[in-house]
């Protein structure tokens, strides 16, 4: 983050989804393969990452624009969106590419 | 230019809410060449401070055109003067004096002023307003705590020196930090902090509130009719409660895992009540793991100047407070703001899609040292000096301790501190709108 927020290091740090080993097997993907994360608001492609301590059913995407593009803006009158509570599907996305931050911003603002 | 190496001791790191105050820097000419004692993030912040900087720009025909600082300020004033409902946002990565100027702008324009706590520990403040604040200092933790809880927080990642400076370290009454104090982690997943803790309690996602409720019932001596709560067995619950009751000095550090999940401020409200209950047995405190280095300061200065810690509306000429209505995500997602002044934050990267979409339809004035996603959609970009590196100021640590940030090197030519940029905007604005 302190090395810049529009460069590849930032994308490599936040455009990931950490999942457990059995989820890799269920999806039929290898570590580092792209996966598509889908919520009722839309979907985003990020890189899969193995978390050896993780268990099935819970995945983690770091705070950043790749999680926010599929996040509901409803704060339930608290001011706080549900950053840590998101029901989502994970799908294999072989051959699909991860958007740059500029491309992602265009998706968010133009609603593509 | 003098190329001799200068050494600065006891520099405060302006990255996270720990505000580590023991950094040793080496400076050659006007370049920081070495950061001793800082964590990896601190090193990156100090050693790369000159990279990726923004210049004053104005958007013309869809592209950013470089202009002088005064032209950029002039355009910012035009936008704010003609706005009916401007939103002033950010403030957590700058120093206290800059905050004062931002509140003046909100008051003069009749706008909303909010800080980044509305998307981090805003629910903590709501919980405190409901149930009171059980506060203590980090020094007390270091010297006295025999039980340290991290709940929904992963300091090994986000506050890398928190454990080594205050927990796994000898204190006045804690001679052997490994044997004399225990670290507990409560989380929905086994984080790297959980991996090094003495005890890890895995809670089902979204069930913190009922779990805290079960702990409170047991602490108060009420038996439970359930085999398990939030994925934790009744037997384990009883063991946890016995350990908490046997504590002499306990501290509950909590993070966004508690404030951003189901329950929001109700989780914090319940956690405060748990800490109050535990004070019947030992001494207990709790502390939010504040993220940005001066987000705690933004809550303090906002309270000093407006009467409220965040989510403040000046539309009627006097401050009103209503989280959920005057909080930034809500103001944007409802499509209400018609201009935005963003200072030392990156809402385009950290707000949900609908809020960012609205940002792209209104003129955004972005004051920040570096390029980020907000700078890409801004109508006006104004560079600022990095507080704590290129200008001085005051900031507030996560336990409420104010610390003085030092200036170690000069900002790039023509780049001013946030407080000066904001003062120039406000002075000009005052002349325009009276």
Q: What pLDDT, in 10s, does the model give residues A13-66? A: 999 999 999 999 999 999 999 999 999 999 999 999 999 999 999 999 999 999
Looking up residue B275, the CATH number of its domain turns out to be 3.40.228.10
Question: For residue B411, what are the contacts with CB-CB under 8 A and spacing of at least 6?
Answer: B385, B386, B390, B391, B417
In a domain, B129, yes or no: yes
Residue-level pLDDT at A40: 93
Q: Do residues B271 and B315 both lie within one domain?
A: no
Residue B244 predicted with pLDDT over 60: yes
Q: Do residues B134 and B275 both lie within one domain?
A: yes
Query: A79 vs B52: CB contact, 8 Å cut-off?
Result: no
Our CA dihedral for B320, B324, B328, B329, rounded to 10 degrees, sits at: -170
Taking the CA of residue A95 and the nearest CA in chain B, the distance in Å comes to 25
pLDDT digit string (tens) for B26-80? 999 989 999 999 999 999 999 999 999 999 999 999 999 999 999 999 999 999 9
Taking the CA of residue A73 and the nearest CA in chain B, the distance in Å comes to 5
d(CA B16, CA B374): 21
Q: Do residues B323 and B418 both lie within one domain?
A: yes
Residue-level pLDDT at A1: 67
Residue-level pLDDT at A5: 87
- State how many domains chain B has: 2
Residue-level pLDDT at B434: 72
Taking the CA of residue B204 and the nearest CA in chain A, the distance in Å comes to 9
Q: Do residues B302 and B226 both lie within one domain?
A: no
Please report which confidence band the pLDDT of residue B3 belongs to, taking 50, 70 and 90 as the band edges: confident
In a domain, B35, yes or no: no
Query: B260 vs A85: CB contact, 8 Å cut-off?
Result: yes
Q: List domains and CATH numbers for chain A.
A: 8-99 (2.40.40.20)
Question: Which among B245, B271, B288 is the end of a domain?
Answer: B288
Query: A4 vs B348: CB contact, 8 Å cut-off?
Result: no
Question: Which among B263, B288, B313 is the end of a domain?
Answer: B288
pLDDT over 70, % of chain B? 100
In a domain, B1, yes or no: no
Interface ipTM: 0.95
In a domain, B408, yes or no: no
Q: Quick one: B431 exposed, middle or buried, by C-beta within 10 A (0-12, 13-18, 19+)?
A: exposed
Q: Do residues B280 and B141 both lie within one domain?
A: yes
Chain A residues whose C-beta sits inside 8 Å of any chain B C-beta: 1-7, 41-42, 51, 53-55, 58, 60, 63-65, 68-85, 101-102, 105, 108-109, 111
Please report which confidence band the pLDDT of residue B2 belongs to, taking 50, 70 and 90 as the band edges: low
In a domain, B7, yes or no: no
Q: Name the residue of chain B whose CA is nearest to A42's CA.
A: B353
Which residues are registered as beta bridge partners of B364? Answer: B340
Q: Do residues B113 and B255 both lie within one domain?
A: no
Residue-level pLDDT at B329: 98
Whose CA is closest to A70, among A48, A85, A80? Answer: A85
Q: Do residues B81 and B166 both lie within one domain?
A: no
Query: B311 vs A101: CB contact, 8 Å cut-off?
Result: no
pLDDT average, residue stretch B391-416: 97
Please report which confidence band the pLDDT of residue B406 belongs to, taking 50, 70 and 90 as the band edges: very high
Token code pair at residue B155: 């300091």
d(CA B332, CA B334): 5
Size of interface A-B (CB pairs under 8 A): 151
- Per CB-CB distance under 8 Å, the chain A contacts of B191 are 53
Domain membership of residue B378 as a residue range: 57-120+293-387+413-433
Helix B265-278 to helix B208-219 angle (10° resolution) is: 20
Q: Do residues B103 and B244 both lie within one domain?
A: no
In a domain, B13, yes or no: no
Q: Do residues B261 and B150 both lie within one domain?
A: yes
Taking the CA of residue B182 and the nearest CA in chain A, the distance in Å comes to 21
Q: Mutate which of B349, B366, B370 to disrupt the A interface (most A C-beta within 10 Å)? A: B349
pLDDT digit string (tens) for B324-354? 999 999 999 999 999 999 999 999 999 999 9
Residue-level pLDDT at A2: 73
Residue-level pLDDT at A111: 66
Do the Cβ atoms of B13 and B23 come closer than 8 Å? Answer: yes
Query: B349 vs A83: CB contact, 8 Å cut-off?
Result: no
Q: Do residues B284 and B135 both lie within one domain?
A: yes
pLDDT digit string (tens) for B96-106? 999 999 999 99
d(CA B335, CA A79): 15
Pick from A4-8, B125-129, B269-273: least confident: A4-8
Q: Do residues B283 and B134 both lie within one domain?
A: yes
In a domain, B166, yes or no: yes
Looking up residue B427, the CATH number of its domain turns out to be 3.40.50.740
Taking the CA of residue A68 and the nearest CA in chain B, the distance in Å comes to 5
Q: Do residues B383 and B330 both lie within one domain?
A: yes
pLDDT digit string (tens) for B32-45? 999 999 999 999 99
Q: Name the residue of chain A whose CA is nearest to B349's CA.
A: A65
In a domain, B372, yes or no: yes
Give Cα separations from B105 to B75, B91, B223, B267, B423 (angstroms). 15, 13, 55, 34, 9
Query: B265 vs A2: CB contact, 8 Å cut-off?
Result: no
Query: B261 vs A84: CB contact, 8 Å cut-off?
Result: yes
Question: Which among B223, B257, B288 is the end of a domain?
Answer: B288
Do the Cβ atoms of B381 and B64 come closer than 8 Å? Answer: yes
């Amino acid at each position: 983050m302190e090395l810049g927020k529009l460069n590849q290091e930032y994308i490599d740090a936040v455009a990931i989804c950490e999942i457990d080993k059995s989820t890799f097997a269920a999806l039929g993907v290898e570590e580092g393969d792209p996966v598509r994360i889908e919520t009722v608001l839309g979907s985003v492609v990020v890189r899969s990452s193995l978390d050896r301590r993780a268990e099935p059913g819970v995945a983690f995407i770091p705070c950043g624009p790749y999680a926010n593009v599929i996040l509901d803006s409803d704060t339930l009158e608290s001011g706080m969106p549900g950053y840590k509570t998101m029901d989502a599907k994970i799908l294999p996305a072989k051959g699909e590419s991860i958007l740059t931050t500029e491309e992602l911003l265009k998706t968010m603002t133009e609603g593509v | 230019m003098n190329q001799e190496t200068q050494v600065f001791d006891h520099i405060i790191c302006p990255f996270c809410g720990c505000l580590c105050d023991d950094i040793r820097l080496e400076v050659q000419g006007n370049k920081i060449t070495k950061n001793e004692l800082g964590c990896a993030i601190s090193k990156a912040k100090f050693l790369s401070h000159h990279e990726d900087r923004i210049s004053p720009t104005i958007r013309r025909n869809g592209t950013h055109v470089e202009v002088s600082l005064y032209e950029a300020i002039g355009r910012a004033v035009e936008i704010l003067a003609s706005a009916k409902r401007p939103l002033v946002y950010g403030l957590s990565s700058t120093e206290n004096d800059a905050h004062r100027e931002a509140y003046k702008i909100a008051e003069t324009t009749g706008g909303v002023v909010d800080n980044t706590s509305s998307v981090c520990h805003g629910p903590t403040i709501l919980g405190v307003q409901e149930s009171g604040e059980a506060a203590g200092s980090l020094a007390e933790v270091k010297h006295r705590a025999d039980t340290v809880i991290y709940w929904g927080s992963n300091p090994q990642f986000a506050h890398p020196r928190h454990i080594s400076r205050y927990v796994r370290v000898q204190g006045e009454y804690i001679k052997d930090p490994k044997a004399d104090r225990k670290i507990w982690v409560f989380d929905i997943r086994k984080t790297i902090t959980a991996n090094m803790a003495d005890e890890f309690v895995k809670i089902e996602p979204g069930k913190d509130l009922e779990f805290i409720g079960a702990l409170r019932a047991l602490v108060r001596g009420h038996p439970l009719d359930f085999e398990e709560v939030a994925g934790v067995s009744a037997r384990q619950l009883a063991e946890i409660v016995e350990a908490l009751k046997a504590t002499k000095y306990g501290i509950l550090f909590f993070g966004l895992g508690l404030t951003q999940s189901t329950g929001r401020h109700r989780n914090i409200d319940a956690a405060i009540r748990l800490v109050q209950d535990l004070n019947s047995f030992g001494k207990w405190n709790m502390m939010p793991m504040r993220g940005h280095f001066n987000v705690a300061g933004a809550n303090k200065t906002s309270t000093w100047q407006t009467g409220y810690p965040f989510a403040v509306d000046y539309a009627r000429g006097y401050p009103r407070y209503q989280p959920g209505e005057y909080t930034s995500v809500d103001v944007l997602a409802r499509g209400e703001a018609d201009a935005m002044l963003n200072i030392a934050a990156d809402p385009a990267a950290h707000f949900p899609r609908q809020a960012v979409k609205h940002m792209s339809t209104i003129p955004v004035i972005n004051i920040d040292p570096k390029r980020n996603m907000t700078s890409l959609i801004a109508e006006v970009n104004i560079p600022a000096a990095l507080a704590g590196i290129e200008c001085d100021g005051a900031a507030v640590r996560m336990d409420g301790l104010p610390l003085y940030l030092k200036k170690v090197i000069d900002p790039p030519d023509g780049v001013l501190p946030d407080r000066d940029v904001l003062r120039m905007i406000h002075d000009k604005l005052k002349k325009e709108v009276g």
